[in-house]
Homo-oligomer: A and B are copies of this chain.
Amino acid sequence: MTVHTGYTVKQERAQGKHLLSPPLPRLTQSFEQNGEAKYEVIVVGGGPAGMMLTLLLARYGLDETSLLCIDNNESGQSSGHADAFQPRTLEVLKSLGLADDIINAGYQLWETAVWDPSPTQKNVIEHTAVNPLISTAARYPFNLALHLSKIEPFIENDLLRYHKQGIQRGARLSDVKISDDPGFPVEAIIEDKGQRRTVRSKYLVGADGAHSSVRRCMELQLEGDSLGYIWGVIDLIVETDFPDIRRPSFIHSSTGSVLVIPREQVESGEYLTRLYVQTPEKVNTWDTQETTKAKRNGFTLENILQYAAAAFRPFKISPKPHGGVYWWAVYEISQRMLSHFTVADSAGTPRVFFVGDACHVHSPMAGQGMNVSMMDSYNLAWKLMYSINGLTPKASSKSLLDSYHTERYPIAKQLMQFDRVTALMASGKVTAARDSNGNTLTSEDFIDNFKEGSAFMSGCGIEYQESIAVQITADNNNPISGTDYASGILRPGRRLLNVKLRREADGSPRDLHDSFQSSGRFRILVLASSDLLDPQGTSSQTLKYLTESLLPSYAPSTIEMVAVHPGLPSRLNLNALPSRVKQYCEMSFYDGSKIDDAYQIFGVDNKRGVLAVVRPDGYVGVVAELGDVGRIDDYLQKCVQRLPLLGVMV
Q: Which residues of A contact B (CB under 8 A)?
A: 1-17, 19-20, 22, 77, 97, 100-101, 104-105, 108-111, 130, 142, 147, 149-150, 152-153, 210, 241, 243, 245-247, 262, 265-267, 269, 271, 293, 296-297, 299, 323, 325-332, 334, 361-364, 369, 505-509, 571, 573-575, 586-587
Measured CA separation A505–B113 after assembly (Å): 12
Contact of A329 with B111 at beta-carbon distance under 8 Å, contacts A507-B247, A587-B271 already known: no
A267 proximity list for chain B (CB < 8 A): 15, 17, 19
Q: Do residues A6 and B330 form an inter-chain contact, with CB atoms below 8 A?
A: yes
Q: Do residues B247 and A2 form an inter-chain contact, with CB atoms below 8 A?
A: no
Contact of A1 with B361 at beta-carbon distance under 8 Å, contacts A247-B506, A247-B507, A575-B241 already known: yes
Q: Do residues B507 and A4 form an inter-chain contact, with CB atoms below 8 A?
A: no
Contact of A363 with B1 at beta-carbon distance under 8 Å, contacts A241-B575, A328-B6, A506-B246 already known: yes
Measured CA separation A327–B104 after assembly (Å): 36
Q: Do residues A5 and B330 form an inter-chain contact, with CB atoms below 8 A?
A: yes
Q: Do residues A327 and B247 form an inter-chain contact, with CB atoms below 8 A?
A: no
* Chain B minimum-CB-distance residue to A264: B19
A100 to chain B, nearest CB (A): 4
A323 proximity list for chain B (CB < 8 A): 9-10
* Chain B minimum-CB-distance residue to A573: B243
Q: Top 9 closest A-B pairs, CB basis?
A: A6-B329, A111-B507, A100-B100, A246-B506, A4-B296, A246-B505, A110-B508, A3-B329, A14-B153
A368 to chain B, nearest CB (A): 11
Q: Do residues B266 and A364 form an inter-chain contact, with CB atoms below 8 A?
A: no
Contact of A20 with B293 at beta-carbon distance under 8 Å, contacts A1-B331, A331-B1, A507-B111 already known: no
* Interface-central residue, A77, A327, A363, by most chain B CB under 10 Å: A327
Given contacts A9-B327, A111-B508, A246-B587, 10 further A-B contacts (CB under 8 A): A1-B331, A4-B293, A4-B297, A5-B330, A8-B326, A17-B267, A100-B104, A101-B101, A110-B507, A241-B575
Measured CA separation A152–B243 after assembly (Å): 44
A327 to chain B, nearest CB (A): 5
* Chain B minimum-CB-distance residue to A156: B14
Sample (30) of A-B pairs whose CB atoms are under 8 Å apart: A1-B361, A4-B293, A4-B296, A4-B297, A4-B331, A4-B332, A5-B296, A7-B327, A9-B323, A9-B325, A10-B326, A11-B77, A14-B149, A15-B267, A17-B267, A19-B265, A19-B266, A100-B104, A109-B506, A111-B506, A130-B507, A130-B571, A241-B575, A243-B571, A243-B573, A243-B575, A246-B506, A246-B586, A246-B587, A271-B587
Q: Do residues B246 and A3 form an inter-chain contact, with CB atoms below 8 A?
A: no
Measured CA separation A5–B231 after assembly (Å): 11
A269 proximity list for chain B (CB < 8 A): 19-20, 22
A247 proximity list for chain B (CB < 8 A): 506-507
A307 to chain B, nearest CB (A): 15
Contact of A8 with B330 at beta-carbon distance under 8 Å, contacts A14-B150, A506-B262 already known: no
Contact of A509 with B12 at beta-carbon distance under 8 Å, contacts A265-B19, A297-B4, A328-B7 already known: no
A3 to chain B, nearest CB (A): 5
A19 proximity list for chain B (CB < 8 A): 105, 265-267, 269
A507 proximity list for chain B (CB < 8 A): 110-111, 130, 247
A108 to chain B, nearest CB (A): 5
A13 proximity list for chain B (CB < 8 A): 149
A10 proximity list for chain B (CB < 8 A): 323, 326-327
A506 proximity list for chain B (CB < 8 A): 108-111, 246-247, 262
A458 to chain B, nearest CB (A): 16
A391 to chain B, nearest CB (A): 19
Q: Do residues A110 and B77 form an inter-chain contact, with CB atoms below 8 A?
A: no
Q: Do residues A150 and B12 form an inter-chain contact, with CB atoms below 8 A?
A: yes
A302 to chain B, nearest CB (A): 13
A329 proximity list for chain B (CB < 8 A): 3-6
Q: Do residues A369 and B4 form an inter-chain contact, with CB atoms below 8 A?
A: no
Measured CA separation A510–B574 after assembly (Å): 39
A8 proximity list for chain B (CB < 8 A): 326-327
Q: Do residues B3 and A330 form an inter-chain contact, with CB atoms below 8 A?
A: yes
* Chain B minimum-CB-distance residue to A151: B14
A155 to chain B, nearest CB (A): 11
* Chain B minimum-CB-distance residue to A241: B575
Q: Do residues A508 and B142 form an inter-chain contact, with CB atoms below 8 A?
A: yes
Q: Do residues B111 and A152 form an inter-chain contact, with CB atoms below 8 A?
A: no
A329 to chain B, nearest CB (A): 3
A22 proximity list for chain B (CB < 8 A): 269
Contact of A12 among B2, B149, B241, B246 (CB under 8 A): B149
Measured CA separation A587–B574 after assembly (Å): 49
Contact of A5 with B299 at beta-carbon distance under 8 Å, contacts A14-B150, A507-B130 already known: yes
Measured CA separation A97–B14 after assembly (Å): 20
A437 to chain B, nearest CB (A): 33
Contact of A508 among B108, B130, B147, B271 (CB under 8 A): B108
* Interface-central residue, A19, A506, A571, by most chain B CB under 10 Å: A506
Contact of A9 with B326 at beta-carbon distance under 8 Å, contacts A110-B508, A246-B506 already known: yes
Measured CA separation A22–B270 after assembly (Å): 12
A231 to chain B, nearest CB (A): 10
Measured CA separation A587–B22 after assembly (Å): 42
* Interface-central residue, A14, A15, A104, A108, by most chain B CB under 10 Å: A14
